[in-house]
Homo-oligomer: A and B are copies of this chain.
Amino acid sequence: MEAEGTVGKALDVLEQVAAAGRPVRFAELLATSPYPKATLYRLLQTLVAQGLVAQDEGGRYALGLRLVRLAHAAWAQSSLAPIARPWLDALAAETGETIHLAQLDQGQVVYVDKRNAARPVEMFAQTGKVGPAYCTGVGKAMLAHLPEEALLRALERQSFHRFTPQTLTTPAALRAELASIREAGHALDREEHEPGIICCAVPILSRSGRGIGALSLTSTTARSTLERLEAAADRLRAAAAAIGTAAEPWGFPG
Contact = CB atoms under 8 A, between A and B. Distances in A.
20 contacts: A7-B47, A15-B70, A18-B77, A21-B73, A23-B250, A63-B73, A63-B74, A64-B105, A65-B110, A68-B110, A68-B127, A68-B128, A69-B128, A71-B124, A71-B128, A72-B127, A72-B130, A114-B122, A116-B120, A116-B121
A101 to B, nearest CB: 11
Given A71-B124, A85-B125, A124-B127, 16 more contacts: A5-B6, A5-B46, A6-B6, A8-B49, A20-B77, A21-B73, A21-B76, A62-B78, A67-B74, A69-B128, A70-B71, A72-B124, A76-B126, A82-B125, A92-B120, A113-B125
Interface of A: 3-8, 10-11, 14-15, 18-23, 46-47, 49-52, 54, 56-57, 62-79, 81-82, 85, 89, 92, 103, 105-106, 108, 110, 112-116, 119-130, 248-251, 253
B14 A70 contact: yes
Contact of A50 (B8, B46, B120): B8
A115 B8 CA distance: 37
